[in-house]
Amino acid sequence: MTPEEKRPTILYIEDDPGSQVLVKRMLEYAGYEVMVAGTGLAGINMARQRTPDLILMDINLPDLSGREVTTRLRALDRFQSVPIVALTAQSQVGEREKAIAAGLTGYLTKPIDVDTLPGQVARYLQGQRDEVAPDLLAEAQTAYSREVVERLEAKIREVEKAYNELNRLDKMKDAFIQLTAHELRTPLTLIYGYGRLLYDSPIVAAMIQQSDDVGRLIANLLEAIERMSSVINEILLISRVASGKVELSISVVRVVEIIQGVVAAYQSAIEQRQQQVVVDVEQAPSSMYADPDMLTLALENLLGNAIKYTPDGGTITLRATQHEDRVLITVQDTGIGINPDEQALIFERFYTAGDTQLHSTSKVAFRGGGLGLGLAIAKGIVEAHGGRIWVESAGRNEQTMPGSTFTVSLPLRGRLASPIRQH
Ligand code: ADP
């Protein structure tokens, strides 16, 4: 072979490092280019990327068997005529026939013979094919099909078991989070209570009179505690949302009042950011069935985000409209926007897009990124009401500020299927 000629490429699929080194060296010495894959799946990927001239295949691989890898590759057009040759320690009766039935071209058994292997490889490259008598082949085909189905069944059982185990661990984790959050909340309530007592006590009041610093320190302390308790409440709520345990107290609610309440809750933040909030409720239904506290919380999360991700001076529009038996509530901002590939992900737990520090303002101090729970909570609440939530945005751009529009669609009658008398 002259240096200009392209060297034939051989893919060796084998998990034993000793055999890998030996065969690679031998075949490279004989003038081949050799690639090695340590598992069946890695072998399939490598073969697909490089389409070798010949594949040497161990049969006992850690994931798929060499027979299964061959059957998989033969299903692809470009591997129909590539020689795939077994190089295996399996020499029991029937193994060779089963390999040919699975689509292998030839069957070489270990131990590897340094003197003969390069010649054997060359012959398979030139078109040699191992033959098997038709009756033996039919028998081997049946045995191979049975083997594949049995392995598939065993794998499905394994996956099912792993899935159940993961589910169990996930539930344990949720229970752990709930328990921990509860345990943290109790002393925090006490700390807050004592803090307030301290703040209101005559001695401290006298100290505050003397020095502003004391008052500021205690106010900061109380604010930090409030912040921590809102994080704990978020965690508690999200673990209930995740385990599908959002309990709703449904009653007749006035949509306009809910929206006005949500805006009022953020009034000081809106003023601080010099943002303009437009409320358009002309087409809103007068009332609907919902859990007022939960619906308020979901909308607060949307408005809180709109404030966070919209620059100072921006505009946020809250709109409620009735469409047949549904109410659509939209929160539209003129902020940084959200990339299309992230628009579904942001509703997942603990997902935060991009650099949240940049434009963000946390719920209390209006600075710093959040936990990535707000939208997951909003989604859980909306879905518990039998509704849907989604976002539309042209993409994220901190120069052009394309904005985002979050929409909540809720059934006016809540989850109840039967017609309800309005009170
Ligand atoms: P966080 O507490 O981080 O705000 P959320 O679940 O409320 O968590 O939001 C998840 C992510 O979605 C945020 O980190 C942010 O990247 C993105 N996001 C949410 N609302 C907006 C919005 N109005 N404009 C731009 N990005 C937003």
| Residue 366, phi-psi category: left (phi > 0), alpha (psi -120 to 50), beta (remainder) | left
For residue 230, list its beta bridge partners.
none
If one compares 3 and 98, the residue with the highest pLDDT of the two is 98
pLDDT at position 354 is 61
CB within 8 Å of 371: residues ≥ 6 apart: 231, 234, 235, 350, 352
Q: Record the tokens describing residue 314, joined without a space.
A: 């921006």
Q: Please tell me the class of the 9-132 domain.
A: alpha beta
Q: Ligand 1 in contact with 333 (CB < 6 A)?
A: yes
Task: Say how many Å lie between the CA of residue 356 and the centre of ligand 1.
Answer: 8
Q: Where are the domains of the chain?
A: 9-132, 155-243, 247-422
Q: Is the pLDDT confidence value at 211 over 80?
A: yes
Q: Where are the beta strands (DSSP E) in 61-131?
A: 84-88, 106-109
Domains 155-243 and 247-422 share a fold: no
SS3 content of the chain, % helix, strand, coil (to 5): 50, 15, 35
* Ligand 1 pocket mutation, candidates 231, 238, 375, 396, criterion most atoms within 8 A of CB: 375
pLDDT, tens only, 214-264:
888 888 999 999 889 988 888 888 888 777 778 889 999 999 999 999 999
Distance CA 349, CA 174 (A): 13
Write the CATH number of the domain with boundaries 247-422.
3.30.565.10
CB-CB neighbours of 121 under 10 Å: 25
pTM of this structure:
0.61
Closest Cα partner for 88 from 145, 135, 23? Answer: 23
Instruction: Tell me which of 241, 341, 352, 407 to substitute to probe ligand 1's pocket, judged by most ligand atoms within 8 Å of the beta carbon.
Output: 352
Higher pLDDT pick, 377 / 244? 377
The CB of 336 under 6 Å from ligand 1? The reply is: yes
Answer yes or no: are the C-beta atoms of 64 and 109 closer than 8 Å: no
pLDDT at position 423 is 35
CA of 260 to the centre of ligand 1 (A): 22
Evaluate if residue 10 carries a pLDDT over 80: yes
For residue range 294-334, what is the model confidence (pLDDT) as tens digits?
Answer: 999 999 999 999 999 999 999 999 999 999 999 999 999 99
CATH topology of domain 155-243: Helix Hairpins (1.10.287)
Is 356 a residue whose pLDDT tops 70? Answer: no
Residue 53 three-state SS: coil
Q: For 116, what's the count of Cα atoms within 13 Å in the CB-facing half-sphere?
A: 8
Q: Is the pLDDT of residue 365 over 50?
A: no
